[in-house]
Amino acid sequence: MQFICKGELKLTNLDELKQYKHIHMIGIGGTSMSGIATILKKWGFYVTGSDANQSELVDKLIENNIPVIIGHDLENIKRANLVVYSAAIPEDDVEMLEAKRLGIQTMERSTFLGLITKAYKNTICVSGTHGKTTTTSMLSVCFLEAKKDPTIQVGAILKQIGGNYRVGNSDCFILESCEYVESFLKFHPRTEVILNIDNDHLDYFKDLDHIKNAFVKFVKLLPEEGLLVVNADDENCASLYKNTTAKIVTFGINNEKCNFVARNISYDNNGFPLFDVYRNNTFYKSIKLSVPGLHNVYNALACIATCHEYGIEKETIKTALAKYTGAHRRFELVGETNGAYVYDDYGHHPTEIKAVYDAMKKKKYNRSWVVFQPHTYSRTKNLLADFAQVLSGFDNIIITDIYAAREKNTLGISSTDLVNQININRIGKKAIYMSDFNEIAKYIRDRVMPNDIVLTIGAGTVTNIGPMIVNS
């Protein structure tokens, strides 16, 4: 069965939306919310929004003639037919309270996005604990190279689309799909790409079995004429196969029975992989990536398998993947200082940090530095030993304050606990705790040597430190 993604978008199955003329979005500057707003604008809806902070995404919305207020705007609430809000918005938000007082319908972002996916015959949902953003980006670049004109929503800035979203005119929607609070169960996929399943978001999920069960429910959403692309090397994905009647295509490195396998993997001086792809044990294509690490071989295999099923030519896939140099905050080069190279990465889970560490080890460098900002108290506490183990591989380790995100510290955990855990078995230079970003930047600038690698890593504000290091 060949999947075709070139038909013109027809706004059918949108009866749920047709009744709304004015949609107001609280937290419109969020990654997903800003993309939704732009889609609605193109479809002819009147969209307004509010956000707590000015940002590049907010500026882009305003450029697209979408009115955005920084702070609150109760007048827009009064005129709206529907209020869409992000999960980060508290129930006692002023605009939320006003909507409830006036009896105006409210809808959480993922539920509303699920309605939008109904408009597309080919909604491609990219999911998994790790690698979603990169794989979504790779797929996007390939579909654009093939002139499929997709709509795209990705969790980071992708330079090929000038942002984190693109509104196309075809019946194809490439969508990064997160498992947190099981939000991906609101979508209507034709294709699912599942990269891996790992322990994460333990502030919501009870344990790994709970996470695996969420993915089982996700797979059950696929129609019989759908497509499941899944990592056969990941043992936690084994429970998925028997839960769908859709077509299953597997990828991997260690399992020769996979439909798509990477062989003869090597790396250049930048740590960029070169490998041969085999399809059903027959040579398919040699691939050269422009992003580092073995984890990106897996991401590329998922992309290649999906593209093949959608009829994209091998040479087009090869060309597009060679052009892809990474999404924002994915082992992204920030700049240099004193001959040292400063990188920034979004990784906030031990598996993600290890992937970046392994990618770094493929490069030629002098010493390694890491500045890590833990993300959420629950993740730090539950995975403390795993964080300590993977961070211990760096030569110089700085831990800064935990980024609370959506949580309050009811667990009695702190960054010094992580520092102490790292230092238990550490021989030589000890990990240190530093809270002030300016002090961290100066500390590193004063000590780095030529050809050192400095990595700032975490899902919070730690991304601000890299520019402080290179620009001071």
Catalytic residue among 145, 176, 309, 352: 176
Say if residues 62 and 169 touch (Cβ distance below 8 Å): no
Say if residues 309 and 229 touch (Cβ distance below 8 Å): yes
Could you tell me the sign of the dihedral formed by the alpha carbons of 304, 308, 194, 142, in that order? Answer: positive
Scanning 56-207, the segments in alpha helix (DSSP H) are 56-63, 74-79, 94-102, 109-117, 132-145
Query: Given the structure tokens 């307004």, which residue do they identify?
Result: 48
Bridge-based pairing state of the strands 163-166 and 151-158: antiparallel
Say if residues 232 and 301 touch (Cβ distance below 8 Å): no
Q: Is 176 a catalytic residue?
A: yes
**For the chain, the helix, strand and coil percentages under 3-state DSSP, each to the nearest 5:** 35, 25, 40
Catalytic residue among 60, 121, 132, 318: 132
Say if residues 308 and 321 touch (Cβ distance below 8 Å): no
3 state DSSP class of 69: strand
Helix axes 350-361, 294-309, angle to 10 degrees: 100
Catalytic residue among 106, 133, 191, 250: 133
3 state DSSP class of 279: strand
Rounded Cα gap, residues 351 and 106, in angstroms: 37
Neighbours of 7 (CB within 10 A): 13
* DSSP 8-class letter at 86: -
Q: Is 325 a catalytic residue?
A: no
3 state DSSP class of 203: coil
Q: Is 323 a catalytic residue?
A: no
Rounded Cα gap, residues 300 and 306, in angstroms: 10
Catalytic residues: 132-133, 176
